[in-house]
């Protein structure tokens, strides 16, 4: 990877109005060697590119993002761009989650977040990938220690939801949100592990699913129940569970609808 070319691409994106850019400065030999003990060492596409670059150079050169990090921070401050610290070593399955490699990376992410924040640039930490519910809680307890905004990647709490990962990731995001550790959700489409490219329809579906997850998190953290009350009041007034319907009963329950009981 040519560091000059990479910086030019990043600056061009900033100048074009991109407000958030993910960088992968955590990839290094120490964590990579630890990650090789996993079932699946790496699942991050961006981080994987950086690792391939380091391997090709036999780790004789520093991570390309670290080499140009001062310039990235400077331009990010100029264009008011938020830097998201990507997770090269997020777990690719629930069995590799919360291992030594992941904890090592989170420690480095927090350290870099402090550096970026001290330079008056907004920063987000991405994590954790696939993780079983208990590991989501354990990882959240580490991530939220310094108070930086967290963008969950998923997290996906089961590996069996192939073709339904927009649902599994929403569930994982809610678990993380209830732990006070989900500030911006990254949507996951149903094609995540099918090898297919997301369609416009599935992308919209994933956004709608993530918005429901976000609202559940807001109910827990902010007691944001305004829309819920509007729907409930409509149901009570119209004597039907169908929102927007102003007459009793529906095709599902007909005359046996319990909401029609006065």
**Exposed e or buried b per residue across 67-76, where buried means at least 16 C-beta atoms within 10 angstroms of its C-beta:** bbbeebbebb
Token representation of residue 144: 């939220």
Checking if the pLDDT of 42 tops 90, the result is yes
Where are any strands of DSSP class E within 101-246? 123-130, 150-156
Check whether domain 3-224 has CATH 2.30.38.10, yes or no = no
Task: Report d(CA 99, CA 33) in Å as an integer.
Answer: 13
State whether residue 254 is helix, strand or coil: helix
C-alpha dihedral over 7, 9, 15, 18, to 10 degrees? -110
On whether the CB atoms of residues 162 and 203 are closer than 8 A, the answer is no
Q: What is the pLDDT of residues 116-165, one digit of tens each?
A: 999 999 999 999 999 999 999 999 999 998 899 999 988 999 999 999 99
3-state secondary structure (DSSP) of residue 234: helix
More confident residue, 56 or 262: 56
As a whole number of Å, the end-to-end CA separation of the chain is 71
Query: What pLDDT, on the 0 to 100 scale, is given for residue 254?
Result: 76
List the single range of 105-114, 214-223, 239-248 with lowest mean pLDDT. 239-248
Cα three-residue angle 120-126-130, rounded to 5 degrees: 170
CA of 8: how far to CAs of 26, 59, 159, in Å?
21, 24, 38
pTM score: 0.88
Q: Is the pLDDT of residue 260 over 90?
A: no
Partners of residue 20 on adjacent β-strands: 82
pLDDT of residue 74: 96
Q: Which residues pair with 186 in a beta bridge?
A: 153
pLDDT of residue 22: 96
Instruction: Give pLDDT tens digits for 67-99.
Output: 999 999 999 999 999 999 999 999 999 999 999
Q: What is the pLDDT of residue 121?
A: 96
Distance of alpha carbon 220 from alpha carbon 175, whole angstroms: 11
Local structure of 85: helix, strand or coil: strand
Query: Pseudo-torsion of CA 197, 86, 116, 101, nearest 10°?
Result: 180
Q: Residue ranges per domain, the chain?
A: 3-224, 225-262
- What is residue 222's predicted lDDT score, i.e. its pLDDT? 93
Looking at residue 38, the DSSP 8-state letter turns out to be S
Q: Which residue has the higher pLDDT, 68 or 242?
A: 68
Integer Cα distance of 256 and 30 in angstroms: 65
* pLDDT score recorded for residue 235: 81
CA distance 142 to 113: 14
Q: Which two tokens stand for residue 182?
A: 């989900």
Q: β-strand 123-130 against 82-85: which pairing, if any?
A: parallel
Both tokens assigned to 164: 């339904």
Supply the Cα-derived Rg of the chain in whole angstroms.
22
């Amino acid at each position: 990877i040519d560091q000059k070319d990479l910086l030019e691409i990043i600056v061009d994106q900033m100048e074009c109005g991109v407000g958030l850019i993910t960088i992968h400065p955590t990839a290094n030999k120490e964590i990579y060697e630890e990650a090789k003990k996993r079932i699946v060492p790496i699942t991050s596409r961006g981080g994987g590119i950086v690792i391939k670059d380091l391997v090709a150079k036999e780790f004789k050169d520093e991570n390309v993002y670290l080499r140009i990090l001062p310039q990235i921070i400077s331009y990010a401050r100029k264009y008011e761009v938020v830097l998201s610290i990507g997770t090269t070593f997020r777990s690719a399955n629930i069995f590799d989650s919360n291992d030594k490699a992941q904890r090592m990376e989170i420690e480095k992410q927090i350290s870099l977040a402090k550096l970026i924040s001290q330079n008056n640039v907004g920063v987000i930490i991405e994590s954790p990938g696939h993780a079983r519910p208990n590991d989501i809680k354990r990882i959240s307890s580490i991530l939220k220690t310094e108070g930086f905004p967290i963008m969950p990647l998923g997290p996906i709490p089961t590996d069996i939801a192939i073709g339904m990962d927009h649902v599994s990731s929403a569930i994982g995001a809610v678990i993380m949100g209830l732990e006070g550790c989900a500030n911006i959700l990254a949507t996951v489409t149903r094609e995540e592990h099918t090898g297919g490219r997301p369609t416009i329809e599935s992308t919209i579906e994933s956004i709608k699913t993530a918005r429901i997850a976000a609202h559940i998190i807001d109910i827990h953290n902010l007691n944001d129940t305004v829309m819920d009350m509007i729907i409930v009041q409509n149901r009570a007034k119209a004597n039907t569970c169908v929102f927007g319907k102003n007459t009793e009963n529906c095709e599902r329950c007909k005359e046996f609808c319990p909401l029609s009981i006065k």
